[in-house]
Structure 1
């Protein structure tokens, strides 16, 4: 396996995300990845030991590409009010929805994870780490409740993103923003 060219590796992983989003997990072959990345045939097989390795690496790359910039991270760690949480959650929904092919690819990876223990382990660890970080940030914000609020927002907003990307005529951007606001307002009840 070749490891000397990290830019090419990222390009192959990004091409894999595109293939997964367009063709599904069954369409993810080394040949399809090579074609999408516009590299010579056989290149992907030089970078990934097998299909399982490719799937796991695509999972890593998806999350790598979703990391928010430093300003967004700082806003998420700052003291919060319910209104500022609406802004934070709206940014999350918009950021994930902008990476449409990534989200569709991660859905394919989640389905594949039911059959591939290494991929399931990666995705479980990654989601658990993200939830734990979000729970810790939420608790530090001083807002009420805590873990259940974060988990319920995670479930509600992920399904909203799913509908926004797979059924785009169901909710437009304005309606999506209204639903994010409503979810946060109903789940975070500020003390009077």
Structure 2
């Protein structure tokens, strides 16, 4: 049976994300990924030249998943900003996994210019998504950048706090703080 190369690359990346989320980037060796995915090491080298190639592709997939989830949540809730903002914080197991993997990549990006560039691009896309969310509540805005930057910083700060102390952050608390943050920031900058 012929293997769909794109699907196999995505499957390998998903196993890599799981491993990185659990144990960090150092654990993401071809041997470990192959063992966890039930593949041979050679089958991974068939799709990725080296670990850097795999990590770059995996980070791009992780970012695209986050963007897609934000877009879907925003489309599904025309008036409420919270569902879209929830995609950006670790409030559920899927988001905890994503955030742990993101943090491992962010740590590596401090020392790796290629990953730093990918992270900067991903952050820029995230800021554009937040801009669209802010403009939905503040359609006549000429300059939303200060509000978007503050909302981004707030969401990331909340996310980090949730990750290190999940017991203090119920879903209700997270939803309320995201809504208050969004409305307060937009209200502050939208006020004449």
RMSD value, Cα: 2.8
Q: CA deviation at 1:43?
A: 2.2
- The answer for unaligned runs of 5 or more in structure 2 is none
Residue 94 of structure 1: how far off its partner (Å): 6.7
Partner of 2:160: 162
Q: Which runs of 5+ in 1 are unaligned?
A: none
Q: Aligned match of 2:180 in 179, 182, 190?
A: 182
Contact preservation (8 Å) 1:52, 1:116: no
Task: Identify if the C-alpha distance between structure 1 residues 107 and 143 changes in structure 2 by more than 3 Å, giving closer, same or farther.
Answer: farther
What TM-score comes out, normalization by structure 1 length? 0.81
Matched with 1:106 is: 102
Distance 2:93 2:139 in 1: 28
Query: In the TM superposition, what is the alpha-carbon distance from 1:135 to its structure 2 partner?
Result: 2.0
Determine if the alignment matches structure 1 residue 56 to structure 2 residue 56.
yes
Q: Distance in 1 between matches of 2:82 and 2:71?
A: 19
TM-score normalised by L of structure 2:
0.81
1:90 is displaced (CA, Å) by: 4.1
**Is residue 2:143 matched to residue 1:142?**
no
Give the match's secondary structure for 1:169.
helix
Residue correspondences, number: 185
Cα 1:161–1:75 change in 2 (3 A) is: same
